[in-house]
């Protein structure tokens, strides 16, 4: 793949879920520049299992000079309606451990390439530009911007597709249609999209608005 002006080749090992006790696991982890922990957003157990995997990663990495970048990937976002692991839980785990955060669908391809591209860019210390990010999103990919608001950071909207994206400051105030808010997420899934909730009472305070939102 191309990142900035660089041609980058990734060597990726897919470690099957059944091999956590396997003798080879340490050898895959040792010296790796990046570790992608993947779980299924519709399967809470797969999220709980991450702790065991991360324990192994930490143990092996302690013995290595190279500290890998660790990314957390929630897979199966095409099954958002069956989600059992809240995005908030995912994001908190990322914050607590300094992981990069991604939501993808291996089935539809949503954000998969972008995830690898951004992990590679982060390892290299390169910031992707907006054009590169937009190119990595399949046309018509679903917008998850509004699907899972989180109270983390008390942002009215936390884009779960691109949680690390800079967000425009939400604007609060009286609008012709009533009270509402608008927030322009700068991620490619909803760039420029205006989100409104005009059915809130005029007396609602900002905090009320924050806690009333879906």
Ligand X SMILES: Nc1nc2c(ncn2[C@@H]2O[C@H](COP(=O)(O)OP(=O)(O)OP(=O)(O)O)[C@@H](O)[C@H]2O)c(=O)[nH]1
Within 10 A of 17 (CB to CB), how many other CB atoms are there?
11
Residue 56 binds ligand X (CB under 6 A): no
**Choices 50-58, 62-70, 75-83, 148-156; region in contact with ligand X by CB under 6 A:** 75-83
Q: Is the CB of 78 or the CB of 182 nearer to ligand X? A: 78
Q: In this complex, which beta carbon is closest to ligand X, that of residue 18 or of residue 203?
A: 18
- The Cα 68–Cα 71 span in angstroms is 9
Cα atoms in the 13 Å half-sphere on the side-chain side of 202: 5
Minimum distance from residue 113 beta carbon to ligand X (Å): 14
Q: What is the Cα–Cα distance from 29 to 51, expressed in whole angstroms?
A: 15
Q: Which CB atom, from 46 or from 158, has the smaller least distance to ligand X? A: 46
Asked if residues 71 and 119 have their Cβ atoms less than 8 Å apart, the reply is yes
Report angle CA 139, 159, 96 to the nearest 5 degrees: 130
Taking CB under 6 A as the criterion, the residue among 25, 56, 79, 200 binding ligand X is: 79
Q: In this chain, which stretch among 52-60, 71-79, 86-94, 178-186 interacts with ligand X, using CB under 6 A? A: 71-79
Of 105, 137, 158, 190, which one interacts with ligand X (CB under 6 A)?
Answer: 105
Q: Pick from 4, 17, 31, 198: which binds ligand X (CB under 6 A)?
A: 17
Strand 69-75 to strand 100-103: parallel, antiparallel, or no bridges (unpaired)? parallel
SS3 62: helix
User: Which C-beta is closer to ligand X: that of 40 or that of 122?
Assistant: 40
| H helix intervals, 25-111 | 25-29, 44-48, 50-62, 87-97
The smaller minimum CB distance to ligand X, of residues 27 and 107, is found at 107
Q: Give SS3 for 163.
A: coil
Q: Which is nearer to ligand X, 78 or 134 (CB)?
A: 78
Residue 80 contacts ligand X per CB under 6 A = no
Kindly list the residues in this chain that would bind ligand X in the complex (CB under 6 A): 16-18, 75-76, 78-79, 105-107
């Amino acid at each position: 793949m191309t990142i900035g002006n660089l041609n980058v080749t990734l060597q990726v090992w897919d470690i099957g879920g059944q091999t956590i006790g396997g003798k080879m696991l340490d050898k895959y982890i040792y010296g790796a520049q990046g570790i992608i922990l993947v779980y299924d957003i519709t399967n809470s157990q797969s999220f709980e299992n991450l702790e065991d995997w991360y324990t192994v990663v930490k143990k092996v990495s302690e013995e290595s000079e190279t500290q890998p970048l660790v990314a957390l990937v929630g897979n199966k976002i095409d099954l958002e309606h069956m989600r059992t692991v809240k995005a908030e839980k995912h994001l908190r785990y990322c914050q607590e451990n300094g992981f990069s955060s991604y939501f993808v669908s291996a089935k539809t391809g949503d954000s998969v390439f972008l995830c690898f591209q951004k992990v590679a860019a982060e390892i290299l210390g390169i910031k992707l530009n907006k054009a590169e990010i937009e190119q990595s999103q399949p046309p018509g990919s679903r917008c998850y911007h509004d699907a899972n608001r989180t109270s983390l950071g008390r942002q009215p909207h936390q884009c779960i597709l691109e949680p690390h994206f800079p967000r425009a400051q939400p604007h609060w105030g009286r609008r012709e249609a009533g009270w509402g808010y608008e927030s322009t997420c700068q991620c490619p899934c909803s760039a420029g999209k205006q989100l409104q909730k005009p059915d809130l009472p005029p007396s609602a305070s900002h905090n009320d608005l924050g806690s009333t939102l879906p």
